[in-house]
Amino acid sequence: MSKEQEEIDIINKFVQRHKVEGNTPFSYGKIFHHLDVLHEIKHRPEDVCPVTLELHLTNKCSHNCLFCMYKKEIRESNICSAEIPFDIAESIIDDAARMGVKAITYSGGGEPTLHPQFKAISTIGSDYSIDQGLITNGSMLHHKDICEHIVNNFKWVRISVDAGSDSVYKILHGNCCDFSKTIDGIKQLCVINNNRIKIGISFLLTSFNSCDMIKLYDILSSIGVDYLQIKPMIMSKNQKSIHNNYITQAIVDDIETLIQKAEKDNKIKVYVLFDQFKNIIGNEHTFDKCHGHALYPVISAIQEIFVCCMHLHNDSMKYGKITKNNSFYDIWRSKKRFQIGDNIDLSKCPKLCRLAKTNNILDMIDKTTNLDINFLN
């Protein structure tokens, strides 16, 4: 059996053994709490505003991750130091509030907390009562004021750790990084938090760090975080040929051990993103169109708006660039924005992206429109 077929079999058996939980922070069922939006997508799709906005305040980053998703487009390019000026960030959040955006996720691009006005900008969001989430590498959590600000202005924070030891941390996040400093920062955040907001840790599983997964869990279970999220690295064809189908039976066995350990200890939750494992073996799209394109756009640190994070810096998926004379609101209300979103070529999209399940639901609504919908048989 080829290595590739072996990996497919291992992943297939693994995901079939697990029924995906409906009540995790990553549950796709959350879209049913936005029935008005589903209705609008069906009847007035041009008017739909985002539910969640992903905002990249800066491209600057204190880490140098081996598998940074934006290595080529950002880290090794001339936009690696770009950041959104305060007045533009303020106008984006003003517009988001006026458009009815429900939540903003601050992410990268780079490390959001490195933006010199990170606190002032995210205070605007919380003053508008927009829900806010933060994805961070944790490098600023040793600053007490950053921890206090997060706890006072965010609903959740997720820290990418990906290692359980300094040696593996340095391989994954770069030689400049110090594992114990990051863990100390997380400890400080948990103490200041005192169970107010949700604190999660993410672990991007690769062939380099699988040995550290349980070690990290053991460290975290005494700190007071809420969950550990495990997701696999989805490799491009090129990376796959180097790392040679890295999901092995031993790795899957370790994840099973971890799941059982977490259930028994009942200290922190372990969420395994099974859909991402399915993405490795490349299922087909189960919907015909990206109906939900308006729901979760991303604004990059160079102020450009893209359909979604999977297409960041893909010019054909760019709605426009925000300037003093061309606001987020103006771009969103333009015909061009809707036309780009409405004509997405699905062959360029991953099979199980964030909106895949939402697209399934919307596809079903679309396809049953002309049936006798009032007969619920």
Query: Which x/- pattern over 30-59 shows residues binding ligand SF4 (rule: CB under 6 A)?
Result: ------------------------------
The distance in angstroms from the start CA to the end CA of the chain is 46
The answer to whether 305 contacts ligand SF4 (rule: CB under 6 A) is no
The answer to whether 185 contacts ligand SF4 (rule: CB under 6 A) is no
Least distance (Å) from ligand SF4 to the CB of residue 1?
Answer: 32
Three-class secondary structure of residue 364 per DSSP: helix
The answer to whether 209 contacts ligand SF4 (rule: CB under 6 A) is no
Applying the rule CB under 6 A, the residues between 98 and 157 that interact with ligand SF4 are 108, 110-111, 137
Q: Which stretch binds ligand SF4 (CB under 6 A): 16-24, 64-72, 144-152, 249-257?
A: 64-72
Residues 6+ apart with CB under 8 A from 178: 166, 169
The answer to whether 353 contacts ligand SF4 (rule: CB under 6 A) is yes
- 185: cis peptide before it, omega within 30°? no
In total, the chain counts a number of residues equal to 377
* Dihedral over Cα of 5, 172, 136, 315: its sign: negative
The answer to whether 279 contacts ligand SF4 (rule: CB under 6 A) is no
Q: Which stretch binds ligand SF4 (CB under 6 A): 80-88, 97-105, 328-336, 343-351?
A: 343-351
Asked whether the beta carbons of 136 and 112 are under 8 A apart, the reply is yes
Query: Which x/- pattern over 228-267 shows residues binding ligand SF4 (rule: CB under 6 A)?
Result: ----------------------------------------
What DSSP element (H or E) covers 218? helix 213-220
Q: Which stretch binds ligand SF4 (CB under 6 A): 65-73, 77-85, 193-201, 214-222?
A: 65-73
> Secondary structure of 311-371 in the HEC alphabet?
HCCCHHHEEEECECCECHHHHHCCHHHHHHHHCCCHHHCCCCCCCHHHHHHHHHHHHCCCC
Q: Which stretch binds ligand SF4 (CB under 6 A): 2-10, 34-42, 175-183, 302-310?
A: 302-310
Distance, in Å, from the CA atom of 107 to the CA atom of 123, rounded to the nearest integer, reads: 16
Q: Which is nearer to ligand SF4, 91 or 160 (CB)?
A: 160
